[in-house]
Structure 1
Amino acid sequence: MGHEWNTSEIPPLSILENDLISHHQAEIGRNQSSSSVFILLGFQNRPELWIFLFVMFLNIYALSIVGNLLIILLVAVDQHFHTPMYFFLMNLSILETCYISNILPRMLGSFLTGDLSISYGGCMIQWGFFVLFGTTECYLLAMMSYDRYLAICKPLHYMSLMDGSLCLQLVSTSWMTGLLTSTVITCFIVQLTFCGPYEIDHFFCDLYPVLNLSCSDVYIVRIVAFFLAFLATVPPFTLTLISYLCIILTILRMKSQAARQKAFSTCTSHLIVVTLFYGSLVMVYVVPETDRLRELNKTFSLFYTVLTPMLNPLIYSLRNREVKAALFRSTRRFHNRIS
């Protein structure tokens, strides 16, 4: 007896065709995304200013690289700087050098050649490193504030608490947190499909301008991004805030005016850097986006991506007598060798 087919269980041909077409379109979308080229509009709407902007950002990049490399070399070769505070400062300079080098060279090239394009792979790599360095800086600044808290609030136990092992653990934790955050969010983004137009209204591949180009459902990605951004910023900012509240209370209880000035001078530079960094982050990612603020967001983004790496070595060196003395000793030593 032959087998009787239940035709009611067989999907209509039109449904099967639609499923195949949808699957085929999705595959085409993924292939198009992986081979597409994005256009970073940035500050390119005024071609007559390209030369001026190129010279300005080139000087900023040069000052940032030279300033941060000087701090790295001074801390590495000068025995006076083999302390926890300068160990953290050296790592911050390494981080800032990588941070600004992830964004500015491509932008300088676009000003010079007029080529505004960046490949899909290049965009994902730039975004991944941006999250890595940004998250790491949030936690590293928190570790530096904790170091200042121990130095000012618990001076008698500072050297025993903040030893070399703890310094390495704190710095490693900062980098590992940044790497984990970057890996997770990048894995979500590379699953998206981009169908065009491929114009990003920013000077680098930032999250929300990129998500606005996706024709996939980005709801889950936005939820994950918000959760990771919360973990990347709120805990270290809270630690930084608590540390400085304790520092300020301790300084106010000091009886000697000279002691108060000395204690406050050791953390003023770091406090200025923290204010610039977190203040610009809040303006870009916390304040609700409007048409009027959309253009300003690119300007505010310059503070934590370009200006902060340049200002860090200037702030720490100009306000630090030890750094200026070390620079003078190194310059005099170099002059004696060549003369």
Structure 2
Amino acid sequence: METIACNGSEDSSPIFYLVGIPSLPKSLFLPIFFVFLFLYLLILLGNVLILLAVVAEPSLHKPMYFFLINLSALDILFTTTTVPKMLSLLLLGDRFLSFPACFLQMYLFHSFSCSEAFILVVMAYDRYVAICRPLHYPVLMTPQTNATLAACAWLTALLLPIPAVVQTSHLAFDSTAHIYHCFCDHLAVVQASCSDTMPQTLMGFCIAMVVSFLPLLLVLLSYAHILASVLRISSREGRSKAFSTCSSHLLVVGTYYSSIAIAYVAYKADLPLDFHIMGNVVYAILTPVLNPLIYTLRNKDVKAAITRMACL
């Protein structure tokens, strides 16, 4: 794809230079590398264990765990789009990305982020049907329905970022464009352009609002119905059992939107650029690290399946 350089000449291959965290001393690169490497390995190990446990354990072949393995696969893909490049930057000083590589990373990062939001909505719907319409659950949540819901979540998320990515690819860049970030985030790439960036910034912001707040609204709506239904249960034991089936999902939702809030506050508040970059890095790593921990520590069925698998 050809782009117009800032000097007006045509340049078929601008190069992107990742500045990283500008004020981070080089003496901290190696310690942070090992921290990120540990977290990345933890993400891979935790989510792979969940995938293997759910596939291998027949008692976990239920809709809730089908959506859980979708979430685990997403966490692996989501972090793999950014963390290896960050590790390479910290250890080897590898800061350059080609035009296709940068835009592919940007597209995948935002697509997988959107997919996670929509899968969390589908999981909330699953809990709504299980608690509010238990007699209809086997009819409503069939394997075909589950596959359709998951496919819709993935497909919608894969399509949503395309307009922003395509429009951004037509912006003008220097032959070497400096990106003040650890990876090719949409806003950071837009700010590296020497074109008028206002339309792209606005488009990115609108898509982010739709992807963030619409799924959150649907999750909250599901849990409002769940809460109303649970409060009608007469026994304390019944209420406790109903809430326990939602606790892991609620914690994951809380972690996901907390990391988004950190990134958003870092961007909107009058803070140095480093805080904005770190807010996005936290968003890229925090949820994938905590998701497997939440589901293995709080879900006794998953914990038991992993334990049995480990003892084989």
Query: How high is the TM-score relative to the length of structure 2?
Result: 0.92
2:227 paired residue number: 248
Tell me, yes or no, if structure 1 residue 174 matches structure 2 residue 153: yes
- Contact 1:40 1:117 (8 Å CA) reproduced: no
The one-letter amino acid of 2:137's match is Y
- Contact 1:44 1:50 (8 Å CA) reproduced: no
Tell me, yes or no, if structure 1 residue 146 matches structure 2 residue 125: yes
1:87 paired residue number: 66
Mark the structure with the bigger radius of gyration. 1
The one-letter amino acid of 2:275's match is L
Tell me, yes or no, if structure 1 residue 259 matches structure 2 residue 238: yes
Q: Distance in 2 between matches of 1:232 and 1:108?
A: 28
1:134 paired residue number: 113
CA separation of 1:293/1:249 partners in 2, compared to 1, >3 Å: closer, same or farther?
farther
2:29 paired residue number: 50
Secondary structure of the residue that 1:198 maps to in structure 2? strand
Q: Aligned residues, how many?
A: 309
Paired residue for 2:91, among 112, 126, 131?
112
Q: Distance in 2 between matches of 1:135 and 1:73?
A: 24
1:317 paired residue number: 296
How many angstroms does 1:277 deviate by?
Answer: 1.0
The one-letter amino acid of 1:285's match is Y
2:79 paired residue number: 100
Ranges in structure 1 where 5+ consecutive residues have no aligned partner: 1-22, 335-339
Q: Distance in 1 between matches of 2:138 and 2:283?
A: 32
Ranges in structure 2 where 5+ consecutive residues have no aligned partner: none
Q: Deviations over 1:51-73 (max 9, x none)?
A: 11111111101110011011111
How many angstroms does 1:92 deviate by?
Answer: 0.4
Stretches of 4+ aligned residues off by more than 6 angstroms: 23-26
- Contact 2:266 2:275 (8 Å CA) reproduced: no
How many angstroms does 1:116 deviate by?
Answer: 2.3
2:183 paired residue number: 204
How many angstroms does 1:44 deviate by?
Answer: 6.8
The one-letter amino acid of 1:295's match is D
Tell me, yes or no, if structure 1 residue 31 matches structure 2 residue 11: yes
CA separation of 1:284/1:196 partners in 2, compared to 1, >3 Å: closer, same or farther?
farther
Paired residue for 1:284, among 263, 268, 277?
263
The one-letter amino acid of 1:274's match is V
- Contact 1:276 1:304 (8 Å CA) reproduced: no
Q: Distance in 2 between matches of 1:200 and 1:314?
A: 33
The one-letter amino acid of 1:206's match is D
Mean Cα deviation higher: 253-262 or 92-101: 253-262
The CA RMSD measured in Å over matched residues stands at 2.1
Q: Distance in 2 between matches of 1:303 and 1:288?
A: 13
Q: Deviations over 1:115-165 (max 9, x none)?
A: 222222221111010111011111111111111111111111111111111
- Contact 1:40 1:118 (8 Å CA) reproduced: no
1:301 paired residue number: 280
How many angstroms does 1:304 deviate by?
Answer: 2.6
Percent identical among aligned pairs is: 37
How many angstroms does 1:40 deviate by?
Answer: 3.2
Q: Deviations over 1:189-215 (max 9, x none)?
A: 111111377332221111222211211
Mean Cα deviation higher: 91-100 or 219-228: 219-228
The one-letter amino acid of 1:133's match is F
Q: Distance in 1 between matches of 2:141 and 2:114?
A: 23
1:337 paired residue number: none
Q: Distance in 2 between matches of 1:25 and 1:222?
A: 19
- Contact 1:124 1:186 (8 Å CA) reproduced: yes
1:19 paired residue number: none
Mean Cα deviation higher: 221-230 or 97-106: 221-230
How many angstroms does 1:228 deviate by?
Answer: 2.2
CA separation of 1:324/1:286 partners in 2, compared to 1, >3 Å: closer, same or farther?
same
The one-letter amino acid of 1:323's match is V
- Contact 1:140 1:174 (8 Å CA) reproduced: yes
